[in-house]
Homo-oligomer: A and B are copies of this chain.
């Protein structure tokens, strides 16, 4: 702990901020009276109008702001919503993947009267980078979690406390203990496959990333379901896993010559698979949709302004962010009627990279 000033008043920013006691002195009442008036709900019983006026005036005059820390220590709420991303919230190398979520989160937080407290894994992180932050998180009234991979152990510990928590993404491993707002990738992906099939594609490849994030699993499941529903076969070579490095132009050419007419990729926070396909196609001289059709699951919204370029579906990130905030504030308020697991549907995007099979 950093050294602070002598006894009496700490040296920090709270140095000479007015406290309830100051208001009390100025208004000629006691501190608890001030507390009652300032935070005791709108219809605080048993306070004379005259007293209330005096206190309010004094508070106004001093520019009083309740100390959220003390408030929380004493009672339990400070109108702060935590936001913790398991990677940097504002990543450098990644595309601005989280931005749309943040837009929704910010708007809805404001609407609900909460401020956002962004927790950041400190740089000095050893083996369990999240352990420390997941503790700090309790500063807020509740916390929103984002990130492709959820640290199971730490989350388990956090869920053992009763801090309200919402995860932005589907995650059923914790059952009802972990409320979430996710996207219905399965349905949306199946829909994309069906659309391609209707365009005459029969040899469709699914190029996905290496890691098994839940969204990736869902998408593959949706792909398989879509293929099945359209009567298209799926064998070992239909689903390709790559981190991008091994997806060469030659390999793509090979697929093309074997009769593949459409490729489905997924957009992630790195977009590795998706970019690899684009690069390989550019190198091989294939154009979309003339030579090959391309559908990108969860097309990144930041790609290009204007009408959607990529075919596929778009994740309603903004709405998801807002819904997550609503769920969280509901949980904080103790609303029992809330659906703790919410899946939002993704809008199909016709786009310009998918067309009739050649």
8 Å CB contact of A76 from B14, B65, B91, B136: B14
A136 and B14 alpha carbons, distance in the complex (Å): 13
Q: Say how far A311's CB is from chain B's closest CB, in angstroms.
A: 21
A75: B residues at CB distance < 8 A:
1-2, 4, 10, 12
A162: B residues at CB distance < 8 A:
12-13, 15-16
Q: Would you list which residues of chain A between 1 and 22 have a CB under 8 Å from chain B? A: 1-2, 4-5, 9-17
A118 and B119 alpha carbons, distance in the complex (Å): 11
A62 and B107 alpha carbons, distance in the complex (Å): 35
A76-B12, A161-B15 given as contacts; is B71 within 8 A of A1 (CB)?
yes
Q: Would you list which residues of chain A between 58 and 93 have a CB under 8 Å from chain B? A: 63, 65-73, 75-78, 80, 88-92
8 Å CB contact of A141 from B9, B12, B105: B12
Judge if A140 is at the interface, Cβ distance under 8 Å.
yes
On whether the beta carbons of B76 and A41 are closer than 8 Å, the reply is: no
A12: B residues at CB distance < 8 A:
75-77, 141, 162, 332
Q: Would you list which residues of chain A between 154 and 178 have a CB under 8 Å from chain B? A: 157, 161-164
Judge if A39 is at the interface, Cβ distance under 8 Å.
yes
Which stretch in A109-117, A200-208, A222-230, A287-295 binds the other chain? Answer: A109-117
Using a CB–CB distance below 8 Å, which chain A residues touch chain B? 1-2, 4-5, 9-17, 39-41, 63, 65-73, 75-78, 80, 88-92, 96, 99, 102-103, 105-107, 109-111, 113, 115-123, 135-136, 138-142, 157, 161-164, 302, 318, 332, 334
